[in-house]
Amino acid sequence: MHRIDNDLLSVQEARILVENAREAQKVLAAFPQERLDKIVRRMAEEVLKYAKELAVMSCEETGFGRWQDKFVKNVFVSDFLYKKIRDMKVVGIIGEDKVNQTMDIGVPVGVIVALPPSTNPVSTTIYKTLIAVKSGNAIIFSPHPKAKRTIGKVLDILIRAAEDSGLPSGAVGYLRTLAHDGTVALMNHPDTSLILITGVPKLVQAAYKSGKPTIYGGPGNGPAFIERSADIKKAVADIIASRTFDYGVVSASEQSIVAEECIADEVRRELKRNGAYFMSALESERLSKYFYRRDGSLNPEIVGRPAYELAQRIGITVPEDTTVLISEQKYVSPTNPYSREKLCPVLAFYVEKDWRNACEKCIELLINEGLGHTLIIHSQNEQVIREFALKKPVSRVLVNTPATLGGIGATTNLFPALTLGTGAAGGGYTSDNISPMNLVNIRKVGYGVRQLADVTNVGWVGEVLNNGNHSPAGESAHDLKELLEELVKRLRQCGNN
């Protein structure tokens, strides 16, 4: 009974939120870029003040990750991302080609439905709100139930700051009565235009079923290949820093290491020097039992937990400062959790004879899970790097950098984003690191610059038509002559002769 009431209330609330957002967006759509920018700036400045408090709150509410790293992510979006988008021209006339006489006009998509994940609730919510308002859109969040207090607080801070600086009321909103039906009602409402979903694998199908354009930042399974020419010390330090960041919850993070045989022992030694613990086959087997729930989904109990705690769970005594748990593996399979995304500081370790075999292994891992997401290579050999980049079914190839930070555009010059597109390979429609430009349509303006006759080479067309042998329909020479005369007549009628 309670569930039914909750579902009904949630659906009703969803309808009201969309109606308010639709009206607010009409006002917002008329704002020039400068006015939107002022609001974005106020939101970024205000939420930055709460970066630490929200990081702590997020860990307390969800149990996922490390507050210090969440604090870094919150600062990253409120400061670095903000500065990156500050001078971007996204709406109105955003491009003009005086020579070719064309113009591009950025047009907001309308009302966006956003789902943030329980693993990055604060930073993803800040990021989505900033890029949505920057691009003149309204945005309605359906908070993840596991992080609803935290997401509610982030949004209250953002909404207060935004409305104080002129955002029409209702342009940023969120569902307070959380229920599956309310979220689906937001997705299916005829007045919502686009769904921006990060994590939450269980609701992706509902988003696709709505028939709306859906941008999904989904699971990764990035293999990190260490090639013989790599700076091994740096490669290992990068991987450890990345895999331990926020206890492994970022989807771009390394899930396995693929080492070239001739350097494998050195890599193992370096990993151990960096606090890694290599599990025995038995220990690996014991830990593997915890990875999935009965329905095959990832078990939240191991997500975003430190290596030491995971070791305790299977009764292994390891030093408290153990950074990652590593399992030596040979094979890739959907039933082998070590060859899939793990969202915690656990890595698989594969050894391959040379870079070509490593290349195959990486592809096998990506086909197993994480198609379209991310791959990492540590190498000084530009030729191998390029071969890798050309062949891998991923949307981002990260070179000599920690993947967690490289994928989200902190240590690389990729766009700073917490929703990473996986392209057609990953079942989505964009492979971008999602930016405000993904939230507008580009209206193309083209001035008349030539006449139809200018693009029609009558002489050449005549030559082709008169060559009866090449006529697919087998028309007679007489028919073709008539066709040509008709073409010339049409060009004249257009006043173009």
CB 86 within 8 A of CB 425: no
Give the residue with the Cβ less far from ligand ACO, 130 or 232: 130
- Of 49-57, 115-123, 221-229, 257-265, the segment contacting ligand ACO by CB under 6 A is 115-123
Residue recorded with tokens 């003149």: 136
Give the residue with the Cβ less far from ligand ACO, 38 or 313: 313
- Cα–Cα dist 470/366, whole Å: 47
Tokens of 406: 């490289």
* H-assigned helices in 280-371: 281-288, 307-313, 355-368
Residue recorded with tokens 């198609």: 371
The least distance separating ligand ACO from the CB of residue 457, rounded to whole angstroms, comes to 51
* H-assigned helices in 392-448: 403-407
Given CA atoms 397, 401, 402, 407 in this order, what sign does their dihedral have?
Answer: negative
- Of 13-21, 197-205, 331-339, 375-383, the segment contacting ligand ACO by CB under 6 A is 197-205
- Cα–Cα dist 433/200, whole Å: 18
- Cα–Cα dist 241/243, whole Å: 6
Interface mask toward ligand ACO for 319-358; x: CB under 6 A: ------------------------x---------------
- Cα–Cα dist 395/374, whole Å: 6
Residue recorded with tokens 């028939």: 211
The reply on whether position 149 binds ligand ACO by CB under 6 A is no
The least distance separating ligand ACO from the CB of residue 399, rounded to whole angstroms, comes to 19
Using the rule CB under 6 A, which residue among 121, 218, 222, 423 binds ligand ACO?
218
- Of 14-22, 298-306, 311-319, 379-387, the segment contacting ligand ACO by CB under 6 A is 298-306
The reply on whether position 219 binds ligand ACO by CB under 6 A is yes
- Output b/e per residue, 130-148; b: 16+ Cβ within 10 A: bbbbbbbbbbbbbbbebbb
At 172 the three-state DSSP class reads strand
Using the rule CB under 6 A, which residue among 187, 250, 365, 397 binds ligand ACO?
250
Q: Restricting to residues 393-452, which ones interact with ligand ACO according to CB under 6 A?
A: 408, 418, 420
Tell me whether residue 475 is exposed, middle or buried, using C-beta atoms within 10 angstroms of its C-beta: 0 to 12, 13 to 18, 19 or more: middle
β-sheet bridge partners, residue 375: 397
The reply on whether position 200 binds ligand ACO by CB under 6 A is yes
Residue recorded with tokens 């890595």: 347
The reply on whether position 480 binds ligand ACO by CB under 6 A is no
**In the bound complex, which residue of the shown chain has the CB atom lying closest to ligand ACO?**
199
The reply on whether position 230 binds ligand ACO by CB under 6 A is no
β-sheet bridge partners, residue 354: none
Give the residue with the Cβ less far from ligand ACO, 156 or 486: 156
The reply on whether position 117 binds ligand ACO by CB under 6 A is yes
CB 253 within 8 A of CB 243: yes
CB 445 within 8 A of CB 105: yes
The reply on whether position 81 binds ligand ACO by CB under 6 A is no
Give the residue with the Cβ less far from ligand ACO, 178 or 324: 178
Using the rule CB under 6 A, which residue among 149, 180, 228, 481 binds ligand ACO?
180
The reply on whether position 150 binds ligand ACO by CB under 6 A is no
Give the residue with the Cβ less far from ligand ACO, 168 or 199: 199
The sheet with strand 440-446 has its strands ordered as 92-97, 102-108, 440-446
The least distance separating ligand ACO from the CB of residue 151, rounded to whole angstroms, comes to 9
Using the rule CB under 6 A, which residue among 119, 221, 256, 438 binds ligand ACO?
119
CA angle, corner 132, sides to 24 and 106, nearest 5? 90
- Cα–Cα dist 30/497, whole Å: 43
Q: Restricting to residues 303-322, which ones interact with ligand ACO according to CB under 6 A?
A: 303
The reply on whether position 244 binds ligand ACO by CB under 6 A is no
- Of 14-22, 176-184, 317-325, 369-377, the segment contacting ligand ACO by CB under 6 A is 176-184
Give the residue with the Cβ less far from ligand ACO, 58 or 379: 58
Q: Which residues bind ligand ACO (CB under 6 A)?
A: 115, 117-120, 142, 144-146, 178, 180, 183, 198-203, 217-219, 250-252, 298, 300, 303, 343, 408, 418, 420
